Structure 1
Amino acid sequence: MARVTRARAFMVDLVPKVRRTDAIQSFKSQETIFVVVEDAEGARGMGYSYTIGDGGPSVLALLQHTLLPRLMGQDADRIEAVWRDLLFHTHATAVGPIMSLALAAVDTALWDLRGHKTGLPLHVLAGGAKAEVPMYTTEGGWLHLSPEALVEDALAAQAQGFRGSKVKIGKPALSEDAARLGAVRAALGDSYEIMTDANQSMTAAEALRRVPMLEQFNIGWFEEPLPADDIAGHRRLQALSRVPVAVGESLYSPGQFADYITTGACGIVQADVARVGGITPWLKVAHMAEACNMAICPHFLMELHVSLVCAVPNAPWLEYIPQLEDIAAPMGRADGMALAPQAAGLGIEWDDDRLRAQTVAGSAFEITEGTP
């Protein structure tokens, strides 16, 4: 039994190097919550979770007062059992983002620990379907950018081997969205994939108005057109659209994905490993989608998701948004392909000195077995 005897947590606040805007918000910062777990044999694993600028201290509080004390003494080898125990222990606050984000930090740390103890990288531990995956970039598709800037970034990405770009939509006028997408399509050609993301900004009627325009430009998917809890609206929209509807970054449990999949309310699922509660539930969603002949194209966190999309057979894309460059070595990539890390565990090469230097004052704490 690999009994968990110690855990510590801390937070690092990462400010984006470029301005990131969509139809409803700006990305202020990445509050990155880390959890390090240690077993009785001295083996360690480090996982993480994140917010986009708000809620980080609440995630840390849930870890400090509830999840990490509950984790002490449990068998780190039994990740499924631990995940289910922690989920049930917090069932009065589930399902929701704070609980899922906190649980994800623990779960990813346990998978990292397992990788280090077995010597295997995450993409092999979790399935080993492939060793690389095509990337599309979102970093140059933000809503405030002009059509000219969108084209310039997409051309540069294409020259680097990227196979596609995501363009944020949700301008006040349909004609503005059409001008942005039309410029990119005209400049990049028919073989370059263009995805769109409305970030839950539209009414059902407004989203339906945009479908013919998206079909005209052969758009790869229409992401989060409606509020995430509007399953019926997404189902009606998907039934009337030849463009796949993509959802998932704002869903927080496998059960929520099941509702979308079984009712035909989406064509692509986009589970975020942090927001869905960790690697354990992410794999459940991926296999659920596979069983329904559906792709999973995860949201954000490319340095962690690269291993997961290479673990399963139904993940055709990795989203490129660099965010960890100040605290970790760059993710491996070549000719527009992301390469599955070969190092044991999560395979992220953290810079310990920078992590210490950038830890938010007062955020760090430690829990040990026997702590009252």
Structure 2
Amino acid sequence: MARIEHVEILMVDLPPAVERVDAIQAFVSQETPLVRITDSEGAEGVGYAYTIGTGGPAIMSLLERTLAPRLIGREAEEIEAIWRDLLFATHATAVGAITSLALAAIDTALWDLRCRRAGLPLWRMAGGAQPSVPLYTTEGGWLHLPAEALAEDAAEMKARGFSGAKLKIGKPSIAEDRARLAGVRAAVGEDFRLMVDANQAFDLAEAMRRADMLAEARVDWFEEPMPADNVGAHARLARHSRVPIAVGESMYSQAQFKDYLEQGAASIVQADVARIGGITPWLKVAHMAEGFNVSICPHFLMELHVSLVCAVPNAPLLEYIPQLDAITTSRLDIRDGRAHPPEAPGLGIAWDWSEIRARIVPGTHHNFGEGGTHATHGHGHRAEA
């Protein structure tokens, strides 16, 4: 083992390659906090999180003023202890997205460091359950797109070997959502999976009405039908619906998933490694879901989730939405519609540091501990002007 000697934090802003609109919001930009940790033997690990356009400065402030300084001198292998100590240090602001996203950037860096030191890829280090996973696409299913575009994209992805497509729903009338689904189904046939995502747009009564329509459309799951904090409503909907209910991207702790599983309120959980606080809690949710015979199909972050879904036995699908192409030289390994996890030690993400440094949001770049190249300022840490 080796102690943490240096921590670097920064944030870049990545506009999405395509317009992304759902029933309640638009994906404005991907603020991407990055954390690079170096131990006393010179080994490094890099982790990250993301937003959809707001909150990034708050995450960076929490990292700068509260979390990153606490890492210096800690044993890097004691990931569980570090995660719990940092959570306790922020317990007055948890559970919530800002804290979880900050924790995730650190936790994923520590796992990257651990795997690199061991010479193992993350998917093997975290379990090694399956060597590849089928893909489904969301990138061509956004709500603002015309029905013809939805059908064309789904047919193209089927031709590429993908297992399914996810479409955003939440048009003002059920008839319009029904027509859009029918057009896609006609284009891809019955042997292609279709999932839908309402992004928490409905109340219980409307979710029940849409669920009946979705069953007729032979949909594989109904994602985020209502606000995620209403567990009881989801339990009622799950008892009513012939379509499996999927939730999780808007949940930020293991305990929230426990409540859903205990009440039978979801058939698929969609824990997001960034929003739940990192790899450490993500694996706990995945194995807890396995105990309830429930699948985990994570939200976003395919470049990282590909390794996690291959680490556990109850992850049947991976969502395809490219997010890091602008700042990495690695790409998702796709063969015949299946994603294969990286075999390189660590997360397997090859960061393009020249591009990253060209995109740093001013005021977000700071260094802590030994080995930095910038002068020490205020809070006992090194900061780049």
* TM-score (structure 2 length as normaliser): 0.95
Instruction: Provide the residue aligned with 1:10 in structure 2.
Output: 10
Q: d(CA) in 2 for partners of 1:110 and 1:136?
A: 29
Letter in 2 for 1:359: I
Q: d(CA) in 2 for partners of 1:132 and 1:29?
A: 30
Q: d(CA) in 2 for partners of 1:179 and 1:224?
A: 20
Instruction: Provide the residue aligned with 1:219 in structure 2.
Output: 219
Letter in 2 for 1:221: W
Q: d(CA) in 2 for partners of 1:361 and 1:66?
A: 20
- SS in structure 2 of the partner of residue 195 of structure 1: strand
Q: d(CA) in 2 for partners of 1:209 and 1:108?
A: 40
Instruction: Provide the residue aligned with 1:254 in structure 2.
Output: 254
| 2:136 corresponds to 1:136 | yes
| 2:83 corresponds to 1:83 | yes
1:143-158 alignment runs, 5 A limit:
143-158=143-158
1:55-74 alignment runs, 5 A limit:
55-74=55-74
Instruction: Provide the residue aligned with 1:185 in structure 2.
Output: 185
Offset at 1:58? 0.4
| 2:370 corresponds to 1:331 | no
- SS in structure 2 of the partner of residue 51 of structure 1: coil
Deviations 1:86-134 (A, max 9, x none): 1111111110100000000000000000011000000001000011100
Offset at 1:319? 0.3
Letter in 1 for 2:17: K
Q: d(CA) in 2 for partners of 1:330 and 1:360?
A: 24
1:102-117 alignment runs, 5 A limit:
102-117=102-117
1:153-172 alignment runs, 5 A limit:
153-172=153-172
Instruction: Provide the residue aligned with 2:360 in structure 1.
Output: 359
Deviations 1:129-151 (A, max 9, x none): 01110000000000011111100
Letter in 1 for 2:266: C
Offset at 1:362? 2.1
Deviations 1:300-353 (A, max 9, x none): 000000000000000000000012111112111111111110000000111111
Deviations 1:269-305 (A, max 9, x none): 0000000000000000000000110000000000000
- SS in structure 2 of the partner of residue 161 of structure 1: coil
Task: Count residues with an aligned counterpart.
Answer: 372
Gaps of 5+ in 1: none
- SS in structure 2 of the partner of residue 50 of structure 1: coil
- SS in structure 2 of the partner of residue 233 of structure 1: helix
- SS in structure 1 of the partner of residue 368 of structure 2: strand
Offset at 1:225? 0.4
| 2:13 corresponds to 1:19 | no
Offset at 1:367? 1.1
Q: d(CA) in 2 for partners of 1:211 and 1:33?
A: 37
- SS in structure 2 of the partner of residue 319 of structure 1: strand
Q: d(CA) in 2 for partners of 1:26 and 1:86?
A: 32
Instruction: Provide the residue aligned with 2:341 in structure 1.
Output: 340
- SS in structure 2 of the partner of residue 326 of structure 1: helix
Q: d(CA) in 1 for partners of 2:154 and 2:239?
A: 30
Deviations 1:161-209 (A, max 9, x none): 1110000001000000000111111111111000000000001000100
- SS in structure 2 of the partner of residue 323 of structure 1: coil
Q: d(CA) in 2 for partners of 1:118 and 1:316?
A: 27
- SS in structure 1 of the partner of residue 207 of structure 2: helix
Deviations 1:235-254 (A, max 9, x none): 00001112111000000000
Q: d(CA) in 2 for partners of 1:262 and 1:2?
A: 40
Q: d(CA) in 2 for partners of 1:186 and 1:304?
A: 33
Q: d(CA) in 2 for partners of 1:193 and 1:366?
A: 46
Q: d(CA) in 2 for partners of 1:236 and 1:350?
A: 45
Q: d(CA) in 2 for partners of 1:99 and 1:173?
A: 37
**Bigger shift: 319-328 or 119-128?**
319-328
After TM superposition, which residue ranges in structure 1, 4 or more long, deviate above 2 angstroms?
Answer: 369-372
Instruction: Provide the residue aligned with 1:368 in structure 2.
Output: 369
Deviations 1:54-97 (A, max 9, x none): 00010000000001111111111111111111111111111010
Instruction: Provide the residue aligned with 2:200 in structure 1.
Output: 200
Letter in 2 for 1:94: A
- SS in structure 2 of the partner of residue 170 of structure 1: coil
Gaps of 5+ in 2: 371-378
For the 8 Å contact 2:302–2:321, the answer to whether it is kept is: yes
Instruction: Provide the residue aligned with 2:37 in structure 1.
Output: 37
Instruction: Provide the residue aligned with 1:52 in structure 2.
Output: 52
Offset at 1:211? 1.3
> Cα RMSD between the aligned structures?
1.0
- SS in structure 2 of the partner of residue 134 of structure 1: strand
Letter in 2 for 1:344: P
- SS in structure 2 of the partner of residue 259 of structure 1: helix
Letter in 1 for 2:264: G
For the 8 Å contact 2:152–2:187, the answer to whether it is kept is: no
1:281-292 alignment runs, 5 A limit:
281-292=281-292
Offset at 1:234? 0.4
